[in-house]
Structure 1
Amino acid sequence: MMEYTRMRYHRKKLEERDRSAYAQTLAVLGIAFGPFSVGLCKGYSSPALASLRSADNVQTGSSTSTESTTAAFNVTSTSLIRITEQEGSWIASLSLLGALFGALLSSQVLKWGRKRCLLWISVPFSATWCLTVFANSVQMIYATAFLAGICSAIVNIISQVYISEVARPELRGRLSACLKIFSHLGILASFLMGAWLDWRQLALVCASAPLMLVLTVQYTPESPSYLVYSGQIEAAEKSLEWLKGFHSDVSKELGLLRGNIERMRDQGNGCRNVVVPQLVKPVILTSMLMFFSRFSGAFAFNFYAVNIFSQTFGDMNPHMVAVITATVQLIASMASGVIADRVGRKPLLVSAGLIMAITLSGFALYSYVCQLKPSGNLDWMPMILILVFEASSSIGIQPISWLMVGELFPLEYRAAGSALTVAISYTFAFAGVKSFVDLKQALGLHGTFWLYSGICVLGAMFAGLILPETKKKPLHEMDPAMGDNDEA
């Protein structure tokens, strides 16, 4: 009889976990158009710059390889705006500079709630792209790129914090990976649509995604952690019921949330030195992760893909290679969450970092050997190296660096800490994108990627020796003993 009762209890627990997994997945899908909009923003510059440069070439009567490869993808443009190569680099990087300010603003925005903020920011995000459609000068494109960067950073941070707060510890890795999956879907969509649409038409498509977010996010619950933190206990109970199943008893979880948030507040008010381990240390750890992510070479491939590929490949169309790499990033990001939850954050970061270092070294060596005249017969060699690198980056450092931003900060400091870390991250991103051209001029293409390879090795060492493991570790406000995984 006791054995039968025990079996019924375990069966009930499994059913509750299945219901909660289903509900939490639906909640993440409800905010999916947020990271998808961010991905469209990231992928916009590559085809848009090709379109703008193509229009310039047509008007000035010049004939370049960029024009011919663009024509192969049927890109047409009605633009009357002429841009130089330097102006194009500013268009690509100003969104990252805007993201820096967006990250700083997000600490204040997050105080108004996760769901509510996503609703509010979607409207100006869409309006920014609408302004891009009607831009009549390079300066106006600069301004809209900057504003789009602000909105995209806020959406990114809110989405990551939201998922970290609503997902169970054993699901948090794979659900957080959805951010990168939807972001890569946005990048791939930009690359594909940019093959046939000019920069104005593509901006119009980008404007529609935030409006879809307005529709879908209305059906998701607010974060229970935020509701308890803001004193909305009844709403927090309803949110927990939504996320765990309406027939589940959430009184225990609600009690844990209330007790631990009160305890954290008491610690924050009574001991100023608590700030050191709970804020400063996570900021340092996550900022170092972001540094290795931004200077790993992944951003160089994303923002200067056509330029790099045109110098490396002999026969393959660089635009087609960019689409293939974006597809590989998408596929790899789908596996990232499952792998991170099964093998842990640290082993994945170490192994992916070493693979990235090896492939970058191989790519640099190939670039050095073939710098005088690329051989079309050997195009498969750099292609394989690039695809392995992109897959490793999309499984390892790229998604996990964002995942740990949501995992390492306690609720009391999550808004400020996440905003500060992401602001630092976008500073690194801006510096990385702008410095690539200078590094290439000083070190050559091969020397630049050898440098990136060395940074990847340092990143793997940092992950293995210093970074803490957060696999299945509950967030602090859900964990009274700071180590009981069954309570989350």
Structure 2
Amino acid sequence: MVTETLLVKTEGLVFVFQLQSVHFVAGTFMSWTSPALPLLQANNSVPYITSEEGSWIGSLLNLGAFIGAIPAGILADHIGRRTTLCGLAVPFFVSWLMIAFCSSALELYVGRIVGGMAVGAVSVVAPMYISELADSKVRGALGTFFQLQITVGILFGYLVGMVGDHRVLAFILSVLPVVYFVSFIWMPESPVYLLSKDKLNEAKRSLQWFRGSKYDIEDEMVRMVESSGDSQKRKGGLGELLSNPVTRKAFTIALGLMTFQQLSGINAVIFYTGQIFDLAGSSIPSTTACIIIGVVQVIATYVSTLLVDRAGRRILLLISDSVMALCLGVLGAYFHLLNNNYDTSDVSWVPIVSVATFIVVFSLGFGPIPWIMLGELFPANVKGIASAVAAAFSWILSFAVTKAFQNMTSSLGEDITFWVFTGICVIGTIFVFFMVPETKGKDLNEIQEDLSGKPSNVELKMVESDDGLKTEKIIFHLPD
């Protein structure tokens, strides 16, 4: 169903695949630590990595993503979304080569930071590109398709980890950025970006390509030109973002969603999946458990593509965060029993079920939707700076959680650590309920009206004529 809808609105699945591939590459960086760290901590490993060095290797990707996210939105506003995304293949490739040829922990640190910078830039620019070219009816599904590719990349990283040592793993994964670059370089630029540079004819050709040669783009092009003109009348930048009440509220929502996404502990769970199962004494080998979790995450994210434009963003966020809180609470209770020497052999299945369910509901809601909404909430004149700051904020939080996870479990215990994350998910559910509007099927003007609290001055109303025919009547309301 979703695929058929996308085929109507684009030239086909070729486009979907091309842009997905960059998220696939990013996903492999996120899961690399799970198979690689045990290999690097083996006695015969060169280099040999200690547990403390391993925690830095796991978390420095997020620090690099923070660094890369900051200039990414600004760069995309200057040279274009497509050009920026193409250029990111270079740091992806260089990062894997540095990891493959490393002989010390320091070289691994630098390689992870370089790769992280590209991951952070992707998290900013790709949602901008998607939101500017997708029809509002399939925008959510298209955005979730790319989150799906991140999870496929994570699973691929788990599977490749079974092939050989960390060098073989890095060499195999270094091929992916090359494939991405070759497949993506011929893609058109965003029509919204082209309009911002007064390239009307190029914008028309771009939109026609994305919608298909037989699709009538005239009405959509008119709305896009009007929206672009309104945005260009207002000076962009951080000042406009914070001084305008509507964009300030959108920015608050974006930062809130990013905060509760990262402080849920998701990256700690993904990066240290194997260690969590080892600590829990699960009967399932950690490598097998990681692959099971990866498969579950892919399936759940695919289900999200079917729901996000039907159920809506807000309801999925509420279900996601509340069930995540329940899963983390149960996981904390299991570790509490384990740490107090209770016999947990009859419930050894609890960790994998809790973690799997946690990842399922995260993938349905709080995984893809904050990034989708980041591309939906802001007008073009502030979208670059807003996306860059929100994404950078997300990644620095991710770095803090990933780096602190092992220290938290050592000082507080696994039970208290997971209960802290439980409390954060509860607060996140309350935040969504009171602050986050529904953006499903709405264009930018409608979303901005929702944020401002002012009703639209245009209403479509069904009226019946004397001969019994029903027609739509456009009613204009004059402002008070």
Return the TM-score normalized by structure 2.
Answer: 0.88
Q: What corresponds to 1:66 in structure 2? A: none
State the Cα distance separating 1:373 from its structure 2 match. Answer: 6.5
State the Cα distance separating 1:299 from its structure 2 match. Answer: 1.7
* 1:337 counterpart = 2:305: yes
* 1:307 counterpart = 2:275: yes
Q: What corresponds to 1:468 in structure 2? A: 437
Q: What corresponds to 2:57 in structure 1? A: 91
Q: What corresponds to 1:370 in structure 2? A: 338
State the Cα distance separating 1:99 from its structure 2 match. Answer: 0.4
Closer/same/farther in 2, CA of residues 226 and 436 from structure 1, 3 Å limit: same
Q: What residue ranges of structure 1 are gaps of 5+ in the alignment?
A: 1-15, 60-78
Q: What corresponds to 1:179 in structure 2? A: 146
Letter paired with 1:414: K
Q: What corresponds to 1:432 in structure 2? A: 401
- Secondary structure of the 1:170 match is coil
- Secondary structure of the 1:352 match is helix
Closer/same/farther in 2, CA of residues 124 and 297 from structure 1, 3 Å limit: closer
Q: What corresponds to 1:51 in structure 2? A: 39
Alignment RMSD: 2.4
* 1:446-480 deviation digits (Å, cap 9, x = unpaired): 11111111111111111111111111111349999
- Secondary structure of the 2:443 match is coil
Identify the match of residue 359 of structure 1 among 327, 330, 335. 327
Distance 1:18 1:250 in 2: 16
Q: Is the 8 A contact 1:30 1:219 kept in 2?
A: no
State the Cα distance separating 1:40 from its structure 2 match. Answer: 0.5
Q: Is the 8 A contact 1:290 1:425 kept in 2?
A: yes
State the Cα distance separating 1:483 from its structure 2 match. Answer: 8.1
How many corresponding residue pairs?
A: 448
Distance 1:117 1:123 in 2: 11
Q: What corresponds to 1:67 in structure 2? A: none
Distance 2:5 2:37 in 1: 48
State the Cα distance separating 1:308 from its structure 2 match. Answer: 1.4
- Secondary structure of the 2:111 match is helix
Letter paired with 2:172: V
State the Cα distance separating 1:17 from its structure 2 match. Answer: 7.3
Q: What corresponds to 2:76 in structure 1? A: 110
Closer/same/farther in 2, CA of residues 196 and 352 from structure 1, 3 Å limit: same
State the Cα distance separating 1:305 from its structure 2 match. Answer: 1.4
Q: What corresponds to 1:65 in structure 2? A: none
State the Cα distance separating 1:149 from its structure 2 match. Answer: 0.3
* 1:164-202 deviation digits (Å, cap 9, x = unpaired): 111111201111011211001111011111022211111
State the Cα distance separating 1:374 from its structure 2 match. Answer: 6.3
Q: Is the 8 A contact 1:124 1:151 kept in 2?
A: yes
State the Cα distance separating 1:322 from its structure 2 match. Answer: 1.4
State the Cα distance separating 1:430 from its structure 2 match. Answer: 0.7
Q: What corresponds to 1:70 in structure 2? A: none
Q: Is the 8 A contact 1:44 1:190 kept in 2?
A: yes
State the Cα distance separating 1:46 from its structure 2 match. Answer: 1.4
Letter paired with 2:127: Q
Letter paired with 1:50: P
- Secondary structure of the 1:343 match is coil
Closer/same/farther in 2, CA of residues 216 and 476 from structure 1, 3 Å limit: farther
* 1:286 counterpart = 2:254: yes
* 1:236 counterpart = 2:203: yes
Q: What corresponds to 1:389 in structure 2? A: 358
State the Cα distance separating 1:296 from its structure 2 match. Answer: 0.9
Q: Is the 8 A contact 1:294 1:425 kept in 2?
A: yes
State the Cα distance separating 1:276 from its structure 2 match. Answer: 2.5
State the Cα distance separating 1:28 from its structure 2 match. Answer: 2.7
Q: What corresponds to 1:42 in structure 2? A: 30
Return the TM-score normalized by structure 1.
Answer: 0.86
Q: What corresponds to 1:28 in structure 2? A: 16
* 1:298 counterpart = 2:266: yes
State the Cα distance separating 1:265 from its structure 2 match. Answer: 1.8
